Chain A
Amino acid sequence: MWKEVRDREAGKLPPFTFASRVRSRRVSALGLSNHKEIVSPHHGAVNALQVDLTEGRYLLSGASDGSAAVYDIQRATDYEEGLIARHRSLFVVDKQHEYGHKFAISTAIWYPVDTGLFVTGSFDHFVKVWDTNTTQVVMDFKMPGKVYGTAMSSLAKAHMLIAAGSADVQVRLCDIASGAFTHTLSGHRDGVMTLEWSTCSEWILMTGGRDGAIRFWDIRRAGCFRVLDQSQCQPGRRPPFLENTSKKIVARTSLAGPSSLANKSVSRKKTPLGNGMKQSQALRKPQNLLRTPVRQRSHPGMSSSHDRATAHYGAVTGLKASGDGMYLLSSGSDSQLRLWDIESGLNILAKYEEMRLQTSKSLHLALNQDSSLVFVPCMATVKACDVWSGLTLQTFRGHYELVNCCYFNLQDQELYTGSNDRQILVWSPPSAIINDLEEDNRKERKFSADKDNWSD
């Protein structure tokens, strides 16, 4: 640490790199927090967790008993033995509340612009918008079925839409500004478990359904513009220039072989012959098709087989887009995690270690700052996997029952997990407080004992 500080000071380490090194070091040291505790007021499984996006200070949780609660995670309400910070809920809204949800809350999210509003969705078919300060419902939307998931775009400047997925096949967009549904997005063949807005465009929504499909929507246009297909894998490699060099290059897929010669001739000499050009284009077509122009070609109606494509066998239970807007992670009831390239819609084929995932509920995944690590609730544990290599780097064991959700606090590098055991656990880099204090006390005692001996 001191070395990094020193290098940053002298300009040898760019501040940005300094920060990412410190972050990744802290993430790799995550463990059950020895200095922080969240006191869960819930009497049911914790299904949803999110920290507000503006201040990074308030944690919102939603639980199966129909209750939602907010905690201040920066400032403890009290300290246990003066050491362990306890964070009690600032308020709870539950079934007793006049307008509370009648059944389990499946999703709870903050309004991305400020902490004045939050949104909950419940199996009682309602999506409710709450005023944080008065803890009153300011708006509600009746959905056609049990609500499984909601999402708001953190980028949105032009709209205030809550995307809500329910047991119904349609995704609905609820407009906070007008209090009405502005869109219904049809395409899924079964209920919609999970929704995620693009992290680089406020108009792109991604949804995952129980039909195993992940659909991309541009809400300015009708219909879905892409369905992810697990069998469409990243060919990944560009046609090589020279055949002989391609031997040196590690492993190349078959696509490279035949096209290489043609490409060579085309790119080497600028053949004016239309033939040559066409040939090259034809050869490159498969790739092109998978890149940008997909949007037009596979647009609505999509009677093609493409529309039937699935991303997972069984239901898609969780979606998480990387912060840079380039990749999407999905989890399915087939106990698979898949990594997708958003631009091309291809399955990147990252090999994640085998794990068992919950199948019945929507799962909340979490990514770290540079999206190199994904936190996945795996039954009663949470696993941290390297996004690229798929290796499981850490397994967090602490919950007694199934874990439903996790939220990674990018600001403090803390992980919050919610489980069927009704607890919310905090995972943080260790603080030296405890050992330190104990040691101090011991020493002091010893020292004072010594002193006594001397003075006598």
Chain B
Amino acid sequence: MSVWNYVVTAHKPTNVTHSCVGNFTSPQELNLVIAKCTRIEIHLLTPHGLQPMLDVPIYGRIATLELFRPHGEPQDFLFIATERYKFCVLQWDAETSELITRAMGDVSDRIGRPTDNGQIGLIDPDCRLIGLHLYDGLFKVIPFDNKGQLKEAFNIRLEELLVLDIKFLYGCLKPTIVVLYQDNKDARHAKTYEIALKDKDFVEGPLSHTNLDNGAGILIPVPMPLGGVIIIGEETIVYCSVTAFKAIPIRPSITRAYGRVDADGSRYLLGDNAGFLHLLVITHERERVTGLKIEHLGETSVASTISYLDNAVVYIGSSYGDSQLIKLNLQPDAKGSYVEVLEKYVNLGPIVDFCVVDLERQGQGQVVTCSGAYKDGSLRIVRNGIGINEQASVELQGIKGLWSLRSSTNDPYDTFLVVSFINETRVLAMNMDDELEESEIEGFCAEAQTLFCQNAIHDQLVQVTANSVRLVSSTTRELLHEWNAPSGYSVNVATANASQVLLATGGGHLVYLEIGNGKLAEVKHVQLDYEISCLDINPSVENPNYSTLAAVGMWTDISVRIFSLPSLELLAKENLGGEIITRSVLLCTFEGVSYLLCTLGDGHLLNFLLNLSTGELSNRKKVSLGTQPIMLRTFSSKDTTHVFAASDRPTVIYSSNKKLLYSNVNLKEVSHMCPFNSAAFPDSLAIAKEGELSIGTIDDIQKLHIRTIPLGEHARRICHQEQSRTFAICSLKNCQTSNEETEMHFVRLLDYQTFEFISTYPLDTYEYGCSIISCSFSDDNNAYYCVGTAYVLPEENEPSKGRILVFVVEDGKLQLIAEKETKGAVYSLNAFNGKLLAAINQKIQLYKWMLREDGSRELQAECGHYGHILAFYVQTRGDFIVVGDLMKSISLLLYKHEEGAIEELARDYNANWMSAVEILDDDVFLGAENNYNLFTVRKNSDAATDEERGRLEVVGEYHLGEFVNRIRHGSLVMRLPDSEAGHIPTVIFGTINGVIGVVASLPHDQYVFLEKLQANLVKVIKGVGGLSHEQWRSFNNEKKTVDARNFLDGDLIESFLDLSRSRMDEIASSMGVPLEELCKKVEELTRLH
């Protein structure tokens, strides 16, 4: 790998941090706006559910998301503030379906210390001002003028230093905030301040309430006519207003989110951290509050946001589990729950650990993550591309074509599978036992290669061979009619639909036949200037039996032509250029848009927009899918049409948001494919691979495929052992015993396919699993699981005791072979030169695997190294050890065999608080740190002075905006040796927000090229809300902010492909590179993930 790195997101953030509901896109439409840390999504509420309207990245981590309506505006505006002190006000542009920036700015201050409890942003309900609490002791006010424009901001001193929550009260003549804070004796109080805009100061407000519940954490302002505020504690809920004060006790729980149900504010939904949903009701008489009531509704994911939509439908945004759309029923179900889950939205966050495995041994990595927390903990198997789940297969050599046929037009299932070989055609059919056996269709010619066959109208079948076209009754299976090729000519290519046949013979003859009842009629015949290489008359959606257009690919002049049917008049001709002939053409329609797809012999695919009435072709795009000729075929999955491109790199072409997407299929090489929907194998595909015919079902069509294994407990560490075909995890389960909440920790063994727990080793009380690896030792062939633990005692700041447990898997059971006590938490374990390297608190310790005289084994300390504050993250390569410290960045150690000692070679003297580290190559190490940055350091082994050699030089810096928990070598895609991308080394990282990202090390020339492209793109693609890309990606910590270097933003670069043609042209010309080449280069990059 190298120092020139390319960072790209393979799986976008899914952790829902904020959500709100309002009329954003139009005064009549109700929208749900969701923030997923660095992205916002806008959904429209429809009777059928949520309909996505927009999903855009924000150049910042969203700290506040609020909808508000300035005076005189018919619809809501969106206010966003980011953690790096930028804010913007966005408005929806209905014409372009884009966001317009109404206002933006910077609210950072030189003065003040960033708040510990997170930034708070809020908007006065009467829209007089925006309030921000960003620094301890300061409250920033951005006032609105009469026209709803923002005026200059100012700060007001806030005496309360430890602020937990701030909200605006409703119905106050002057904007009034209520502040929930903690004093220096840890008691919690609430008080109110009026904001005097003229004096730029606070005036003490009407309410104050001291000595609240110690767990009070959330304020809910109640709208008029009731007014006042609800304070949610862990054991009590309090309502107070000027006139009333009510309190009720609740079952101890930590409320994490609330959502208002009614506009008058008499009912609220509360979600706690056990995932329970409660309804809080304010009872009132004649606008006077008479009491509070709380009711248990049911269980959801642990909510981080609750947005009541409409008609008892509620959106539950979650950070620790899948977000949900739920319906609150009037009557409880059998389990007493009022909650009905309508829909689930996958959330991978927080990814605390993951491993990259190749379970199917196809050379493609899958990522297995430890996701979620609390009861929503799960394992997720993330795979790129589309999987085929093989159901049956037969060995068959030399397949030249595959078609499925129904026994009658109305039969819902396919019966026959026609397999064509070079000199014969065989028919397979489903028998009574739902087995595929060789069969016969009498009317078909079995002694010749079938070029095409098809179910036709009037319960007929069509078979095209080199000599003839045969029309066969599908009921009697007898030949009804035959059209013979003129003597001296043989049919080269043919295609057909239910009522039409188009074929080409040598000499450039194009013949068009129509299928009648028991009769084939030659309707038209033309001779073209060159030989014909491929044909298609796939009908359009409106008329599934008849096509008015025919696509023809030509030899010699390398063109595709569109002819009208039945007249065979040339409508359009498109020269493809180059010398590679077209191998397959296909007319198809996705999401109402018609395309012509055309493939070349070298694995390229061209697509055009097709005008169905005029036959005109436009908007040509070219992508490379493989290196071998591609055969195109349509198929349906879940009532949607997709195209299967069979080649050395099989791909499914589909459309999403009216954009063509290409997703690779997890198969090595496919020569032919046809859909095969039989009773025994519903919705399946028949696939001809090298020497094999198989039938299988296909996954949902999407780029990343995620399988969820719910655990009901929080998995924290995972590793895979190939020898025993198992996974092992360290997990913890929260147990609620009467009043006390306890945690139980386990080491669990899981089957590698079913992911069922097959064995469990419970850890001691207070003992936590901290690290796990699978390894083997020198002089011992067994594979072991080694688990590092810590005893976390309540009275201890730092664990002073831990264990290393060595397990072997025997008969699917975890057997403890050896254990070694350590003097601290075992934060990390690594297999190292046939030994075990552990990071124990400050120390790096190497253990040997010793054979005792009685034949048993034990770990014996060999040597150690001190000099870290806490050695959290350790990676090894050869004799080198790279340590990521709690707060002292990265250091490089070397194990010296002769001396049996570990020595420090070099370190980075910056004060980076590490969160993950990985070795990219012998000299370059990648680190992720506490302020959401990535950086690389390089070893200076050639430096002249000791001082320089002892220093790891920082070579790359980049603000990722994500908290990385783990970096591992591996790739999500299949590596093909012939593609350029196949040689680019990559690492994968997982983050708290559920992002799976890829860091790829590029060759220098490619890096320079892409850097130029990125610079050009920054000029064209403006950040939402006018936020600056350069500032967003600048490395930033408490000490410094510097421009990103030696890292490229792959998400930005790949968004090039979404640009309109004219903008792409613009960029290509300013880059001085042909557009096609540029597209190809960017497409290559998209194959990295």
Contact = CB atoms under 8 A, between A and B. Distances in A.
Interface of A: 1-3, 5-6, 8-12, 14-20, 22, 25, 29, 55-57, 74-75, 155, 200-201, 236-242, 245-246, 248-250, 263, 267-268, 270, 284, 287-288, 291, 323-326, 343, 370-371, 388-389, 411-412, 431-433, 436, 439-440
A1 B112 contact: no
Interface of B is mostly: loop
A22 B204 contact: no
Contact of A245 (B111, B207, B842, B963): B207
A55 B909 contact: yes
Nearest 10 A/B pairs, CB to CB:
A200-B110, A324-B113, A240-B204, A11-B992, A325-B111, A411-B911, A15-B930, A200-B111, A11-B350, A10-B373
A199 to B, nearest CB: 8
B432 interface: no
B866 A433 contact: yes
Given A325-B112, A431-B866, A246 B203 contact: no
A241 to B, nearest CB: 5
Nearest to B768: A2
A250 B210 contact: yes
Interface string B960-995: 000101000000000000000000000000001100
Contacts of B112: 324-326
A240 B202 CA distance: 10
Contact of A9 (B204, B352, B768, B888): B352
Nearest to B799: A2
A209 to B, nearest CB: 25
A388 B841 contact: no
A249 B208 CA distance: 7
B136 to A, nearest CB: 7
Given A1-B825, A248-B210, A267-B196, A201 B110 contact: yes
Given A10-B350, A433-B866, A238 B201 contact: yes
Given A1-B798, A1-B799, A2-B825, A432 B206 contact: no
Contacts of B350: 9-11
B207 A15 contact: no
B790 A2 contact: yes
B204 A237 contact: yes
A270 B870 CA distance: 61
Given A6-B716, A11-B15, A15-B915, 12 more contacts: A10-B373, A11-B349, A12-B373, A16-B114, A19-B887, A22-B886, A55-B909, A239-B204, A241-B205, A267-B174, A267-B194, A433-B843
B135 A19 contact: no
Q: Is the interface of A mostly helix, strand, loop or mixed?
A: loop
A6 B732 CA distance: 11
Contacts of B843: 432-433, 436
Given A1-B870, A11-B963, A411-B911, A432 B159 contact: no
B872 interface: yes
15 contacts: A1-B798, A5-B827, A9-B992, A16-B114, A16-B116, A19-B930, A236-B159, A241-B192, A267-B174, A268-B173, A287-B201, A324-B112, A324-B135, A431-B842, A431-B866
A432 B824 contact: yes
A18 B118 CA distance: 12
Contacts of A389: 184
A436 B373 CA distance: 35
Nearest to B886: A22
A245 B204 CA distance: 10
Contacts of A263: 203
Nearest to A72: B947
A248 B963 contact: no
B91 interface: no
A112 B909 CA distance: 17
Nearest to A55: B909
Interface in B790-819: 790, 792, 797-799
B319 interface: yes
Contacts of A155: 110
Interface string B917-932: 0000000000000111
A246 to B, nearest CB: 7
Nearest to A21: B116
A238 B204 contact: yes
Nearest to A35: B866
B194 A325 contact: no
Contacts of A56: 909, 911
B823 interface: yes
A110 to B, nearest CB: 15
Given A12-B373, A240-B204, A57 B113 contact: no
A226 to B, nearest CB: 16
Given A11-B992, A74-B909, A267 B111 contact: no
Residue with the greatest number of chain B CB neighbours at <10 A, chosen from A19, A236, A370, A412: A19
Given A248-B208, A267-B196, A241 B203 contact: yes
Given A1-B797, A267-B194, A15 B932 contact: yes
Contacts of A16: 114, 116, 930-931
A241 B872 CA distance: 52
Contact of A325 (B110, B116, B191, B193): B110
A19 B204 CA distance: 34
Nearest to B868: A431
Contacts of B111: 200, 324-326
A1 B790 CA distance: 11
Contact of A17 (B117, B193, B824): B117
B744 to A, nearest CB: 15
B913 interface: yes
B825 A242 contact: no
A58 to B, nearest CB: 10
Contacts of A431: 842, 866
Contacts of B716: 6, 9
Given A238-B204, A431-B866, A432-B841, A440 B861 contact: yes
Nearest to B155: A343
A12 B374 CA distance: 11
A412 B799 CA distance: 21
Nearest to A246: B204
Contacts of A287: 201
A371 B113 contact: yes
